[in-house]
Amino acid sequence: MKCGACNYPKVEQVTTTMDKWQGNQLIAIKCVPVERCPQCVEEYFSPEVLRALERLIDAPHEPVDQIAVPIFKYQPLVA
Ligand SMILES: [Zn+2]
């Protein structure tokens, strides 16, 4: 498949990790298949993958792993 963003002739089939806030909970989904442009890194998800992600987010399964995530508060630069 050609990249729709930069016209690079062939996007690559790779897997990625997605993250999403669910209210005040952050969840991550790993091993998500995606086509990625090696030139401009635009990503293309198939309709099947999007449906599977929606289902997983609507009715989460037992997580395969848990990590602690450090949270920082934004601080403006001091001029
Ligand atoms: Zn591209």
Residue 52: CB atoms within 10 A of its CB come to 15
Query: Is 79 part of a structural domain of the chain?
Result: no
Query: Is 29 part of a structural domain of the chain?
Result: yes
pLDDT on residue 79: 79
Query: Is 1 part of a structural domain of the chain?
Result: no
**pLDDT < 70: residue spans in the chain:** none
Query: Is 34 part of a structural domain of the chain?
Result: yes
19 C-alpha to ligand 1 centroid (Å) = 22
Residue 49: CB atoms within 10 A of its CB come to 14
Query: Is 74 part of a structural domain of the chain?
Result: no
Query: Is 23 part of a structural domain of the chain?
Result: yes
- What's the CA gap between 55 and 50, in Å, rounded? 9
- What's the CA gap between 8 and 4, in Å, rounded? 8
**Structure confidence by residue, pLDDT tens digits, 5-20:** 999 999 999 999 999 9
Full residue range of the structural domain in which residue 48 is found? 12-58
Query: Is 45 part of a structural domain of the chain?
Result: yes
pLDDT on residue 48: 97
35 C-alpha to ligand 1 centroid (Å) = 11
57 C-alpha to ligand 1 centroid (Å) = 28
Residue matched to tokens 């395969």: 64
Kindly list the protein residues that place their beta carbon closer than 5 angstroms to ligand 1, a single-atom ion.
Answer: 3, 5-6, 8, 37, 39-40, 42
Give the number of domains in the chain: 1
End-to-end CA distance of the chain: give it in Å, rounded.
48
Nearest partner of 15 among 35, 40, 39, judged by Cα:
35
Query: Is 25 part of a structural domain of the chain?
Result: yes
44 C-alpha to ligand 1 centroid (Å) = 10
